[in-house]
Structure 1
């Protein structure tokens, strides 16, 4: 322990105190200041990047919501307005796909599907189109604030739409066709983006006869041979020669 006693004596001496004040304390202060500055700079840079990403994502979401509002009023717009709205929707789709965020492609595909539905439902079902627009807006706002959760919802909807077999109601199809005819008669313009769905055809079941059922139940049966006609005996006797 002699070396420890020598170090303590040197530390409390005039030379040791002078070295501590002029070298050790400034060095430690510089190191601590550098670490604090690095942490502050890292936090500021991260906040700046997050803010920039949020602004970019907010601009893309605003463009998609604007495209959804135009899609909900699709058939009440002029051809020039439709062309402009479709151009804006394509720009918004490209803007979303270029975002460096996980799930951007899911959001773009989901938005494209919803826009197509709103354009179709805008023919006669304005309430349904408004409902789709509200869900469309809420889901995009959720993606803006919570991208990971919204990405899972987008993926689930896309998977369901991909494998789901939707049956069309004949009454709804007839109402849509009637609304399209009224729109064409009023504006003298054909209705676009309306999918034609064939009405279901009633198939009358084929009535099976007992013979058909018997033959179908016994596939190994052989047809009966037709019996030859039997000559009936006659009572007339042959005439005798005279």
Structure 2
């Protein structure tokens, strides 16, 4: 205990008060600076993550709105354009489900149902789909700003659609989709360029290559024919 008594005596000595005070201030400054740096770094990281999430949500929503615009004129698209549109929708659906937001899967299911409805109604009511497009866009933007509140609305819509769609209605909708797809296929098949038929020469008609060869043989025979003798 002798060393402890010596340390306490040195610490409480009047001549060492300035040194002790300076050491305490230095330690407190280091601790405060470390805490402040950690707080600033945490805030910067959180702001970067929030900005990245906002950009990702805006990109996904923009892709879905663009897909809804194409779905409203689905029957006027070529098969290649339909494949590209479906691919973009699939990528946006995966990105939407992977967002770190509660209820992202519910929003993805709601958007998928709305896109399917737009495709189905584009065959007959394409000119009346602008209000549906605006509602689709506004609902997604509202979900981006208020995900918890909008998630309940989306879930209620999904439950209502699930109850409304009976087995007979589902089969009828499937038949309607198949009919629309067949009509679209026939439409673009009719506009396809016809394949030219191969040239068939009759049995008695010589082909161009045979006729040309015969003319060349006649010319060669004339060149080698001997000239008559002159008296």
TM-score normalised by the chain length of structure 1: 0.61
Cα displacement string for residues 89-148 of structure 1 (whole angstroms, at most 9, x for unaligned residues): 122112212223211111111011101111122122234321111111111111222222
**Equivalenced residues, count:** 168
Cα displacement string for residues 188-219 of structure 1 (whole angstroms, at most 9, x for unaligned residues): 669xxxxxxxxxxxxxxxxxxxxxxxxxxxxx
Match of 1:130 in 2: 130
* Structure-2 separation of matches of 1:188 and 1:32: 72
* Structure-1 separation of matches of 2:149 and 2:165: 26
Match of 1:146 in 2: 146
Match of 1:215 in 2: none
Contact in 2 for aligned 1:121/1:128 (Cα 8 Å): no
Q: Secondary structure at the match of 2:100?
A: coil
* Structure-2 separation of matches of 1:154 and 1:112: 12
TM-score normalised by the chain length of structure 2: 0.64
Contact in 1 for aligned 2:78/2:188 (Cα 8 Å): no
**Larger displacement relative to structure 2 (53-62 or 26-35):** 53-62
Match of 2:16 in 1: 15
* Structure-2 separation of matches of 1:39 and 1:188: 62
Match of 2:79 in 1: 79
More helix by share: 2
Contact in 1 for aligned 2:103/2:147 (Cα 8 Å): yes
Match of 1:216 in 2: none
Cα displacement string for residues 159-185 of structure 1 (whole angstroms, at most 9, x for unaligned residues): 1111125899xxxxxxx9xxx7xx77x
Match of 2:90 in 1: 90
Q: Secondary structure at the match of 1:148?
A: helix
Match of 2:222 in 1: none
Match of 1:62 in 2: 62
* Structure-2 separation of matches of 1:136 and 1:29: 55
* Structure-2 separation of matches of 1:50 and 1:85: 29
Contact in 2 for aligned 1:74/1:119 (Cα 8 Å): yes
* Structure-2 separation of matches of 1:14 and 1:188: 99
Q: Secondary structure at the match of 1:110?
A: helix
Q: Secondary structure at the match of 1:94?
A: helix
Give 1:157 deviation, angstroms: 0.9
